[in-house]
Structure 1
Amino acid sequence: MKNWKVHIIALVLVVVSEMIGIFKFSFGPGTIVLLPMLYALIIGIFTGPKFLKIVNEKDMKDAGSLITVTLLLLMARYGTLIGPSLPKIISAGPALILQEFGNVGTVLLGIPLAVLLGLKRESIGAAHSIAREPNVALISDVYGMDGPEGQGVMGVYISGTVFGTVFFGVLASFCAAYLPFHPYALAMASGVGSASMMTAGVGSLSTMYPDMQETLAAFGAASNMLSGLDGLYMSLWLALPISERLYSLCYKLKYGKNTEEAK
């Protein structure tokens, strides 16, 4: 907390990134949205010891220790949204609530693929969700950030920040152009708990359906808000237990022994 160099660098990155602003450009049938979070991450990478050497290993370790503290502030913010947002959640209807079960798809697809690629318990942190801020906080609380689960969730968090907005923008455009899904359903699907990914998905859909722009934004925002609120509990009570069991099964199928025997 007393490493003022880290705090100053973080402040500079935020100011520079916000000054750059949001960029949108067309890609195929949709729109790709680049947000300040992406610029801050990329600039931050170049300040490291392997590039500009503005920060050293100690600075990086100090910054890593602050992740949990900053996420606590974010989780407190999510808590303040629950009460005032309940009427909106109720008025959204059962479709928005039931679509949260789709988040378990990351487990069913991600865990077997991660184990196949050679990941061990990193796969639990990486594949239990799309690994946004609430899920990083959850893994930090349950497993700790220094373990393999913490490494897995941070790896996907960084990958999602770099590639997520581009992926969601292109995917929403592709689904709207070539698959028989209603634009409202696609807007709901864009709200996975990440403001940047939701903005990219809804932005692409709004470009394709300008007459539905306000409604698409409303569905996307409501879905994203709901994912941020109850998605954490879905991960805690459903996704993580399934991840543990599926990881044990996939590990045994690949290596021919239980995970306990491998310790």
Structure 2
Amino acid sequence: MNHRRLPTTWPVTTSPLLDTLRNGLVVSCQARPGEPLHGPDFMAAMARSAVLGGARAIRVNGPLDTEAVRHAVDVPVIGLWKDGDDGVYITPTLTHALRVAEAGADVVALDATARPRRDGLGLAETIAAIHATGTLVMADIATVDEGVAAASAGADMISTTLSGYTPDSPGHAGPDLGLVAELAAAVTVPVFAEGRYATPAQAAQALILGAHAVVVGGAITRPTDITTHFVSALDTFPAERRTAK
């Protein structure tokens, strides 16, 4: 099934794709180079597993993984391309965005913070060029002002992905639920809650506060990190309370 629809006006506040994601879970299937699950085949299998569990969409990094996941699942695919690790590195140029769209993404996610984009293009110009391919745009932001600006620039949906990861946004140990609530009240496009969601209760709270959907990554798809979390808890268990068998 092809979920892509070319709307007549932008931004899109309602569409078949957005309707399927309402109150749902998006699973971010990503693995860093050097990790055991890095690579298109592993990401495709992980995406299939997530869809079997009820995920409404998959978020994935890079054109190769995007293409593999597009062929593996029958739900919307949100594609991005991380290039580097400083400044604007999530789909930093229009060239990156178009390549992800060509790979089969229904939605292209990109850094929509106030920081300058690597190719010097404005956000509105970049979004318009992506829309010309019939692909929706998810704006990854860190602050309310950035979310409002991204919506004004034509983004079809806003995600809180970068909250706590830019100089303009405060760090948080957990998800930035306050940002979700503020954005939901400030923009008319759907708001996606993303970033450090570790429990079902946190995800449900985001919906209560106005999120259209919730994106969860590491808490579901990073077995090394999940294992480390459990091991750390066991290692810090007081020795005097351990019972020898």
What is the TM-score when the length of structure 2 is the normalising length? 0.27
Structure number with larger C-alpha Rg: 1
